[in-house]
Amino acid sequence: MLSRHLATGARRFRATPRPTAPTSFLRSAWAPTRTLSTAQPKVTPASNPKAPAPKPSQPNPVEPLQHTGARRAAGATLGQARNDLYDDSFVGRSGGEIFHEMMLRKSVKHVFGYPGGAILPVFDAIYESKHFEFILPRHEQGAGHMAEGYARATGRPGVVLVTSGPGATNVVTAMQDAFSDGTPMVVFSGQVPTTLIGSDSFQEADVVGISRSCTKWNVMVKNIAELPRRINEAFEIATSGRPGPVLVDLPKDVTAGILNRPIPVAPTIPSRPVAPNDRSQSFASHQKTFERLASLINQAERPILYVGQGVLSSPDGPAILRQLVDQANIPVTTTLMGLGAFDETDPRSLHMLGMHGSAYANLAMQSADVIVALGARFDDRVTGNIKKFAPAARRAAEEGRGGIIHFDIMPKNINKVVDVHYAVEGDVGANMQQLIPMLKFSPRKAWFDQMQAWKQSYPFSYDLPSSATTTDTTARIRPQAVIEVLNRLLTPIKDQTIVTTGVGQHQMWAAQYIRWTQPRSFITSGGLGTMGYGLPAAIGAKVACPEKTVIDIDGDASFCMTAMELATMSQYNIGVKVLILNNEFQGMVKQWQDIFYEERYSGTPMRNPNFVQLSEAMGVKGMRCTDPNDLTASLEAFLAHDGPVVLEVLVDKKDHVYPMVPAGKALHEMLLGENKMIQQ
């Protein structure tokens, strides 16, 4: 059966993949499972003097793991069938050369990494490659975050290449960050020769064991004949279903060895066939279920769309979301990671929700009778106190007129945090397309009037805290004002701008005070909250999109964690613009110390370097703004500079991020300012 009642009361809808061309529903419901192509693309070997070119009389070499059984069944001779079942295009190549060739076949244009002894056979093989550009960071963690920024800007997997031991372990933070945020990334790590594994040899580490919990899949390649297949699997798994990081561990004897025989092409990622007599029943059940969901949405008086990064990850997701909103006239709020999925200048936008989201988005979530979650996972930063979350929707579900509907590609996300009333698994974009024709337009005047009243009563604002009365703080620039001016200056070029952030107060102010209008224009660390993410992610995004303006909005503490990547910007002339909001504190931690720990600043004051001199020492233009009257001119010069540049702005030390939902409170129990709480 396609649908069934869950123990928690949610209905979950699944479909099964088909060995033949599936319907759009089946494609959407089984997006996590892909069937590898049966086509035989034309492949051009990488530029390598040791790699033999295919003979003119032979067919183009097939990509490993392609299905070839159909040709045998069509009447091929035994000899022809045997040739079809084996790939000889890698014979005579070293493991490093096979890696190079596979990057070409996977259309990899950029690799981020750091060399070392165990991975040298690969680095030697890619020496002066004409097929992709290698970017050398100053730390392997930087390589990982660069690959994340690259992937988030393009939707294609970022590729990392590092050595064994500390080279690999230094990427663990980036892998966990990518795992938390659903970012496709393929990490290749060097390893000691297979003959030395387990002997505690120099720079040996159980990288497969270490990375098991922070990757979708990992593997050690123990034989050179496995290498093409494992690389194929890595890219397939990183990009299928909910994207994420994978790791391929490469022992040195594998990458230095020579392949001397053809390799099998049989696939190792099987499809899961369905019995033919189940298909019509499944489709009919699916249609009936969507009709029920459409009926709930159409009759809802106060519906809301709660949109996460899954919409951005889905092909054409933002465009399909726009169609849904126009068709049904429903307001939209997004998660931090979903910013850009819907144009925030549209009056139906409620901007971001959650701990530091807009008050009106949080109030709308609590008041909605139907909540439609699209590619979002009900993170604790979004829900607040679970027992007090979405009371109106839960009450509507009991009365049979509403509830919580969850569209997600990951079955494990269903009912993980919030018990929902209906659940639809699969690609969110494809499932939205199935739903849209069943939806009807409704003006919902009372609902939109209520939201407009909330917007007027509770806008994003920044009153000066009463404790900030000394001259050394009141003279400083308001950090929110910096972002507001930047937003105004960027308005004409929003479609050609990407903003990354570190993690902290500056991250939240960027999310609040910039109006996000474009998909993949906001790149930040959400689930893991990795300080130091902003600068290397911006480098990766700029490498991926050199024609766009890429700005890293950072805090002084977050920036300091990966500040040496300024040297990477300088070496490759990567024109990232770094805006540092310097309050000489770990601002978000200090905010909690102000509110909950009686201003005991344990470990949070920062004694920073001179950021202008630091930038100049690395060959990057450095600027500083200390006067509020100079802010606009400084930002204009910052944006106009051609090349890598850093602008440090000295901002108020006492400012807090509001609204704020304190720990244990419900979404409607927000702090709106110092000693100012809203309760409805």
Instruction: Please give the full DSSP string across 102-146, using - where no structure is assigned.
Output: HHHHTT--EEEEE--GGGHHHHHHTTT-SS-EEE--SSHHHHHHH
Provide the pLDDT for residue 268.
Answer: 65
pLDDT of 15 > 90? The answer is no
Which residue spans of the chain are classified as CATH 3.40.50.970?
69-264, 471-657
pLDDT of 476 > 90? The answer is no
Per residue in 617-637, pLDDT (tens digit) is 999 999 999 999 999 999 999
Which residue spans of the chain are classified as CATH 3.40.50.1220?
3-16+274-457
Provide the pLDDT for residue 283.
Answer: 61
| Residue appearing with tokens 């709660």 | 306
Q: With b meaning 16 or more CB within 10 Å and e meaning fewer, what string describes 93-126? A: bbbbbbbbbbbbbbebebbbbbbbebbbbbbebb
Helix or strand holding residue 159 (H, E): strand 158-162
Task: Indicate the DSSP class of residue 521.
Answer: -
Classified as helix, coil or strand, 251 is: strand
Average pLDDT, the chain: 87
Contact present, 178 and 568 (Cβ < 8 Å): no
CB atoms within 10 A of CB 521: 21
Contact present, 268 and 233 (Cβ < 8 Å): yes
Q: Which is catalytic among the residues 175, 588, 618, 623? A: 588
Q: Which is catalytic among the residues 101, 140, 148, 484? A: 140
203 is annotated as an active-site residue: yes
The closest alpha carbon to 62, from 34, 37, 99, belongs to: 37
Residue 629 phi/psi, 5-degree rounding, is -70, -20
Q: Which is catalytic among the residues 203, 323, 433, 496? A: 203
Record the pTM: 0.86
Provide the pLDDT for residue 79.
Answer: 53
Mean pLDDT for the stretch of residues 394-420: 96
Contact present, 101 and 64 (Cβ < 8 Å): no
Mean pLDDT for the stretch of residues 645-664: 96
CATH class of 3-16+274-457: alpha beta
Mean pLDDT for the stretch of residues 126-150: 97
Classified as helix, coil or strand, 219 is: strand
Cα gap 293→278, rounded to integer Å: 23
Q: Which is catalytic among the residues 106, 252, 542, 577? A: 252
Superfamily of domain 471-657: Thiamin diphosphate (ThDP)-binding fold, Pyr/PP domains (3.40.50.970)
Mean pLDDT for the stretch of residues 654-664: 95
The strands making up 11-13's β-sheet, listed across from edge to edge, are 3-5, 11-13, 422-425, 403-408, 370-374, 303-307, 332-334, 349-352
Mean pLDDT for the stretch of residues 147-159: 98
> What whole-number percentage of the chain has pLDDT above 70?
83
User: In CATH terms, is domain 69-264 a member of 3.40.50.970?
Assistant: yes
42 is annotated as an active-site residue: no
Q: Sorting pLDDT into bands at 50, 70 and 90, what band is 679? A: low
Provide the pLDDT for residue 277.
Answer: 43
Cα gap 494→515, rounded to integer Å: 9
Q: Which is catalytic among the residues 80, 202, 452, 613? A: 202
202 is annotated as an active-site residue: yes
pLDDT of 398 > 60? The answer is yes
Q: Sorting pLDDT into bands at 50, 70 and 90, what band is 75? A: very low
pLDDT of 513 > 90? The answer is yes
